[in-house]
Chains A and B, each alone.
Chain A
Amino acid sequence: MAKTKLSLGYGPKLETVPVELPPGEPRPWDANDQLEVVGEPVPRIDGQLKVSGAARYTHDVALEDMLHAAVLRSPYPCATIKRVEVKAALDQPGVEAAIAVAAVGDKLIFAGQDVAAVAAARPEQARAALASIVVEYAPAPFVVGTRAAMRDGAPLVHETAVEERRTGADEPGAEKATGELSGNIRPGRSQKRGDAKRALNKAALTFEATYETQCHTHSSLETHGVMVRWDSEDAATVWASTQSIFSVRDEFAAIFGLPPAKVRVITHFLGGGFGSKFGANASGTAIAKIAGELARATNKPVKLMLTRHEEHLCTGNRPDSIQTVKLGATATPGAQAKITAIHVQAHGSAGVGTGAGVGRNASAVYTKVPDVLVESADVFTHAGPAVAFRAPGHPQGAFAMESALDELARQLELDPIDLRLAHDGHPVRRWQLELGRERFNWDARRQAAADMRARGTRVRRGVGCAVSIWGDFSGTEARVSVEIDRKGGVVVKNGVQDIGGGIGTIMAQVAAEVLARPVDQIRVEIGDSELGPGVGSGGSKTTASITPAVRNAAEAAKAELAQIAAEALEASSPSKLRWTNEGVSLGRRSLTWAELCERIEGEAIVAVGTRARTYGHYPKSFPGFPTPEIAGAQFAEVEIDTWTGEVRCTELLAVHDCGRVMNEMTVRSQINGGIALGVGYALMEERVMDPSLGVVLNPNLDQYKPCGAKDLPEISIVLTEVLSGNNNTGAYGIGEPATIPTAAAIANAVGDALGVHVRSLPITPAKILDALERGRQTSTEGDT
């Protein structure tokens, strides 16, 4: 370990901080470094391929003789298979193989589970052939509603406790449920500080409310899918729509009993994942196993791309939640009021799967609250399994906790920003709240909202804010190579995939920065397991995991070049060399880049870089991790037509930090995306299941309602850069933080506009009208 001192800070604050660096680690970029390329709004290097339609996604890959697969799914939420015969499908046009996936006697526990599959020359032939498969089901009692599943005597989903399944997209370190299964409920997950129950009993003032969030589907534009080609008996190439190439490789190898090295996985382009695309199979359907078996049976490549309908049934979702939040407070009036206790009891259903949770807004943001208890439980239902979804648990938890804070603030007649500032110990988030107050014209808008409420106007406006907490969860698994050939070409290689954040562009920027080369002179190869270990794009860690390894590889390659240059230019030490876009110089002697590279012995310099463990966490670490906590705050304005209930989010200010900004433009895109997802979650998206039929009623993109262009507010973004000394580039994540507070901020704005809180997402016109009616009743009661 080498000790060094770094200039770290955020906005107004700059400090010299001692950091211990692992051996061989270059000095991290800190406040003293003036970077040329990193941070700039460099356009995506693969933009041309995407705008010309030339980019080939898994959906688009075509191989000679390729077959298309389709899967027959159970229409029943709970049923035992009595008979399954696939033979007749073989007589259908174009069909080359048909397999039963479920066997007689199997119990299927959600509508949409795999039953049988066919492979045919064309996808429409495969789909049409499913009709000829004969299946007899013995339907059994089921339950799909979370509350219904919690009742005594509800049909049981699992007879015994199921092991909690985690993917690389789940929040590292998030506590696991360990309690005993009781009926359909498995409690046992908790976050604790002090004794919240006791503190609540002693509190002079208490607030209690129950908040509910809906089931939210990822709805990636590219559905889940794979193509499998057996290259030999024991080797396969898998094209996968995945956000984690190596998890596909490992799971596919495990399914078919192969060494992972015998499986090559390719994802050149990916049409979205949002947490749902880890592993070879999807969370509720064995796509890789099915495609692999059909490819084996036919000796042809088999592509299985799910339909939109299937995507909604069996590829994951964000679990719903029912959260009771209790707050205890002192009786001190006005700004002196202190929250003394937080107790959250949460239930959520991940369907037949696991992982309902509520994140850490309640437990880890308000560190000045002495006594906190957050308890959450999985409730099993006969519905498709959930899977990690952009900041798993956090948007749910943020909605409940941030709503409760606002409701308490209203009760205490306090400004919600003041109430937050009084209990949040994170200096960056506190700064963000103050910034937002000023930039969003908070005080004037809140006054205007109060005036409209008082006048009882038809159209109301209101503002709200909410905050986020996330951590730098970057990992050490990446191995990046930088090759510099004798003709001067630079190639950066890694088996990471681009989920849409633009990691390839960032890799080029970092290599360009180190080598002092123009970005367009750097070629980046990604999206293939043969390019070296990468990292899954989950946990907002891609950039922070990959860029330090790129820098290390580029620095190592440059060191070799520097040796060559030092010799050629007769420098006493490589450190005396001056590097520019043209080449390298020492005093008046110089070599162009081409001249320098010609001197490389052999074909090329090949340097491999790794990433050290995260070593710094200025100014504050994430609970339980020696890595930075990532702070964010969002401010929303809504406009509501109180006659019709129509509600729109009109403006949104996002104040986020993401460590050192790697690319000002792509980071803005990610924040826009987090907000769009949050607006949909707040106002319109909801997977609806019929309680007595057990099927999803809106498995499409018209009655399932993702946010569209006309639903987005006017967005302003303020990035509060933080130099934390976490790694040698200073990057950390933004993908997840950007979506955590959006729905909560909008809900709080709705509360401000109406004077009544809507405690359930999505906040539809129906719920607005209901809240108005409740408000009218309350005020009438108050009058009498």
Chain B
Amino acid sequence: MQPFALIRTKRLERARAIVRDKPEARALRAGGIDLLDRMKEGLDEPELLVELRDAMAPQVELGAGQPLLPAENPERFPSAPRFAQIGALTPLAQLAAAELPGAEALTEAASQAATPGIRNTATVGGNLLQRPRCWYFRQRELVCLKKGGDTCLALMGDNRYHAILGAGPSFIVHPSSLATPLLALDAVVSVFAGTPSDPPEGGATTEPNSLRLLSELFVSPADDPTREHALEPGDVLTSVWVPVLDGMRSAYQAVREKQSHDWPLAEAAVRMRIAADGSMRDLRIALGHVAPIPWNASAAAALLEGKAPNADLFAQAADAALADAAPLDGNAYKVPMTKGLLREVLHRASGLALPE
């Protein structure tokens, strides 16, 4: 790594100000796993890392509070009797070990991500904001679309691990394994993004001041292929809020080539309630590692909403979820795989026994 300096601050506004002052050469650091990885590869060469670890605390709490809704259009955000609040600096291991009844999709995903050692360092915020694992992007010597080139190298290269949905002009898959269940769980995130007039240095602004739907955190490559998230330089993701509905149940599953430590080939997460009449309600379905953003399979969810769990129906929903798939020459397998995976997760989430 090229030499750089570290700065530690307890104040988010200071962290933000430092990065905003010279965004091209400064970066925020939480667990630092992906950041260090990129710096070691020479993809990023910041002069200064601004450490967040003293500015926020790891935290997983169920029912302690509610996200502060904005005055404008508060109805955009989910409402629930209780929320799980997860601090952005929470290590994945802590999240994996947390008791979040109904939100098992999230704890399960956290327990499968990376390795036990990495999960002790990597944070929830870092996981959501990490950059893609695309093997063209990760090679320092290659200039891909994300690095200022004019083409996505996966398009004419080896794209076995690339996107089949919602892609182009970049064909990465979003790398976050937490984003998939969080999207299914209808999570919202708090972002410290300052106010139109930044509070002065020393001002007590630890209160997150911007609430967003999780889906609004991610940027489609059609809008900007060089970035994956919508945060501006210096903005800090501070909390993730998961609405916990009464009677909510969820499931998550990934397919990997290797069980010990591997990036998923495909992921699916499902949230639902089973109503008194046995029907599935408040369904949300998310797919991961199939699209450049965590993928909301809303058509599939709509197809199932209000119906009783049924194996044939699940197969139809899986077909609907992948109806728009446009595979590249090397990743067509992801279509049947994701369908099969989603069927299994629907069975698990609904409690309908899987066939032998």
**Touching chains A and B, CB distance < 8 Å:** yes
Give the residue among A643, A707, A711 with the most B Cβ atoms within 10 A.
A643
A36 is an interface residue with CB less than 8 A from chain B:
no
Chain B, range 299-356, C-beta contacts under 8 Å to A? 333-334, 336-337, 339-341, 343-344, 354-356
For B341, give its contact among A643, A690, A691 (CB under 8 Å): A643
Measured in the bound complex, the distance between the Cα atoms of B355 and A783 in whole Å is 25
Measured in the bound complex, the distance between the Cα atoms of B255 and A702 in whole Å is 15
Minimum Cβ distance to chain A for residue B247 (Å): 27
B265 is an interface residue with CB less than 8 A from chain A:
yes
- On whether the beta carbons of A688 and B158 are closer than 8 Å, the reply is yes
Chain B interface mostly: loop
Chain A, range 447-485, C-beta contacts under 8 Å to B? 455, 457-459
Measured in the bound complex, the distance between the Cα atoms of B2 and A128 in whole Å is 6
10 A-B residue pairs with CB within 8 Å: A644-B266, A683-B257, A684-B262, A692-B156, A695-B142, A697-B158, A702-B261, A765-B257, A765-B337, A766-B333
- On whether the beta carbons of A644 and B260 are closer than 8 Å, the reply is no
- On whether the beta carbons of A709 and B260 are closer than 8 Å, the reply is yes
Top 4 nearest A-B pairs (CB, nearest first) are: A708-B260, A643-B340, A766-B333, A697-B135
- On whether the beta carbons of A766 and B142 are closer than 8 Å, the reply is no
Given known contacts A703-B135, A710-B259, A773-B336, A644 and B344 CB-to-CB distance under 8 angstroms: yes
B160 is an interface residue with CB less than 8 A from chain A:
yes
Which A-chain residue is minimally distant from B344 (CB atoms)?
A643
A648 is an interface residue with CB less than 8 A from chain B:
yes
Which residues from chain B contact A697 at a C-beta distance below 8 Å? 135-136, 139, 157-158
Which residues from chain A contact B86 at a C-beta distance below 8 Å? none
- On whether the beta carbons of A702 and B263 are closer than 8 Å, the reply is yes
Which residues from chain A contact B3 at a C-beta distance below 8 Å? 128
Which residues from chain A contact B258 at a C-beta distance below 8 Å? 683-684, 705, 707-708, 711
- On whether the beta carbons of B259 and A457 are closer than 8 Å, the reply is no
Give the residue among B161, B258, B339 with the most A Cβ atoms within 10 A.
B258
Measured in the bound complex, the distance between the Cα atoms of B156 and A695 in whole Å is 14
A698 is an interface residue with CB less than 8 A from chain B:
yes
Which residues from chain A contact B344 at a C-beta distance below 8 Å? 641, 643-644
For A693, give its contact among B142, B255, B266 (CB under 8 Å): B142
Interface residues on A, range: 35 or more
Give the residue among B156, B161, B259, B354 with the most A Cβ atoms within 10 A.
B259
B133 is an interface residue with CB less than 8 A from chain A:
yes
Given known contacts A644-B255, A703-B135, A457 and B141 CB-to-CB distance under 8 angstroms: no
A370 is an interface residue with CB less than 8 A from chain B:
no
Which residues from chain A contact B256 at a C-beta distance below 8 Å? 646
Measured in the bound complex, the distance between the Cα atoms of B303 and A661 in whole Å is 64
Measured in the bound complex, the distance between the Cα atoms of B190 and A293 in whole Å is 57
B30 is an interface residue with CB less than 8 A from chain A:
no
Which residues from chain B contact A764 at a C-beta distance below 8 Å? 257
- On whether the beta carbons of A644 and B340 are closer than 8 Å, the reply is yes
- On whether the beta carbons of B356 and A459 are closer than 8 Å, the reply is yes
Which residues from chain B contact A164 at a C-beta distance below 8 Å? none
- On whether the beta carbons of B153 and A690 are closer than 8 Å, the reply is yes
Minimum Cβ distance to chain B for residue A132 (Å): 11
Which residues from chain A contact B2 at a C-beta distance below 8 Å? 128
Chain A, range 694-718, C-beta contacts under 8 Å to B? 695, 697-698, 702-703, 705, 707-711
Which residues from chain B contact A692 at a C-beta distance below 8 Å? 156-157
Which A-chain residue is minimally distant from B141 (CB atoms)?
A75
Give the residue among A641, A645, A764 with the most B Cβ atoms within 10 A.
A645
Given known contacts A690-B153, A695-B142, A702-B262, A765 and B135 CB-to-CB distance under 8 angstroms: no
Question: Chain B, 81-110, contact with A by CB distance < 8 Å: what is the 0/1 string?
Answer: 000000000000000000000000000000
Which residues from chain A contact B141 at a C-beta distance below 8 Å? 75, 695
Question: Chain B, 218-261, contact with A by CB distance < 8 Å: what is the 0/1 string?
Answer: 00000000000000000000000000000000000001111111
Q: B-side interface residues toward A, CB under 8 Å?
A: 1-3, 133, 135-136, 139, 141-142, 153, 156-158, 160-161, 255-263, 265-266, 333-334, 336-337, 339-341, 343-344, 354-356
Measured in the bound complex, the distance between the Cα atoms of B256 and A762 in whole Å is 13
Chain A, range 609-650, C-beta contacts under 8 Å to B? 641-646, 648
Which residues from chain A contact B343 at a C-beta distance below 8 Å? 643
Instruction: Knowing that A644-B341, A689-B158, A702-B261 touch, tell me 8 more A-B residue pairs with CB under 8 angstroms.
Output: A124-B1, A458-B354, A684-B258, A688-B160, A690-B157, A702-B263, A703-B133, A707-B260
- On whether the beta carbons of B333 and A645 are closer than 8 Å, the reply is yes
For B158, give its contact among A128, A690, A707, A770 (CB under 8 Å): A690
A769 is an interface residue with CB less than 8 A from chain B:
yes
Minimum Cβ distance to chain B for residue A629 (Å): 35
Given known contacts A459-B356, A645-B255, A645-B337, A765 and B265 CB-to-CB distance under 8 angstroms: yes
- On whether the beta carbons of A691 and B354 are closer than 8 Å, the reply is no
Measured in the bound complex, the distance between the Cα atoms of B336 and A191 in whole Å is 43
Measured in the bound complex, the distance between the Cα atoms of B343 and A228 in whole Å is 59
Measured in the bound complex, the distance between the Cα atoms of B137 and A698 in whole Å is 12
Which B-chain residue is minimally distant from A766 (CB atoms)?
B333
Chain A, range 118-134, C-beta contacts under 8 Å to B? 124, 128
Measured in the bound complex, the distance between the Cα atoms of B259 and A459 in whole Å is 17
Measured in the bound complex, the distance between the Cα atoms of B13 and A327 in whole Å is 74
Measured in the bound complex, the distance between the Cα atoms of B139 and A171 in whole Å is 36
Minimum Cβ distance to chain B for residue A609 (Å): 44
Measured in the bound complex, the distance between the Cα atoms of B158 and A773 in whole Å is 22
Measured in the bound complex, the distance between the Cα atoms of B356 and A455 in whole Å is 10
Measured in the bound complex, the distance between the Cα atoms of B294 and A298 in whole Å is 54
Which B-chain residue is minimally distant from A680 (CB atoms)?
B258
Give the residue among A697, A710, A770 with the most B Cβ atoms within 10 A.
A697
Given known contacts A644-B341, A697-B158, A703-B263, A458 and B139 CB-to-CB distance under 8 angstroms: no
- On whether the beta carbons of A645 and B142 are closer than 8 Å, the reply is no
Which residues from chain B contact A766 at a C-beta distance below 8 Å? 160, 265, 333-334, 337
- On whether the beta carbons of B157 and A693 are closer than 8 Å, the reply is yes
Measured in the bound complex, the distance between the Cα atoms of B330 and A770 in whole Å is 12
Minimum Cβ distance to chain B for residue A73 (Å): 10
Which residues from chain B contact A128 at a C-beta distance below 8 Å? 1-3
Which residues from chain B contact A645 at a C-beta distance below 8 Å? 255, 333, 336-337, 340
Which A-chain residue is minimally distant from B341 (CB atoms)?
A644
Measured in the bound complex, the distance between the Cα atoms of B340 and A710 in whole Å is 23
Measured in the bound complex, the distance between the Cα atoms of B269 and A43 in whole Å is 48
Chain A, range 673-693, C-beta contacts under 8 Å to B? 683-684, 688-693
Minimum Cβ distance to chain B for residue A44 (Å): 25
Measured in the bound complex, the distance between the Cα atoms of B354 and A769 in whole Å is 19
Measured in the bound complex, the distance between the Cα atoms of B176 and A759 in whole Å is 33
Which A-chain residue is minimally distant from B161 (CB atoms)?
A703
Which A-chain residue is minimally distant from B354 (CB atoms)?
A458
Measured in the bound complex, the distance between the Cα atoms of B160 and A767 in whole Å is 11
Chain A, range 726-784, C-beta contacts under 8 Å to B? 762, 764-767, 769-770, 773
- On whether the beta carbons of A691 and B135 are closer than 8 Å, the reply is no
Which residues from chain B contact A770 at a C-beta distance below 8 Å? 333
Which residues from chain A contact B356 at a C-beta distance below 8 Å? 455, 457-459
Measured in the bound complex, the distance between the Cα atoms of B161 and A689 in whole Å is 14
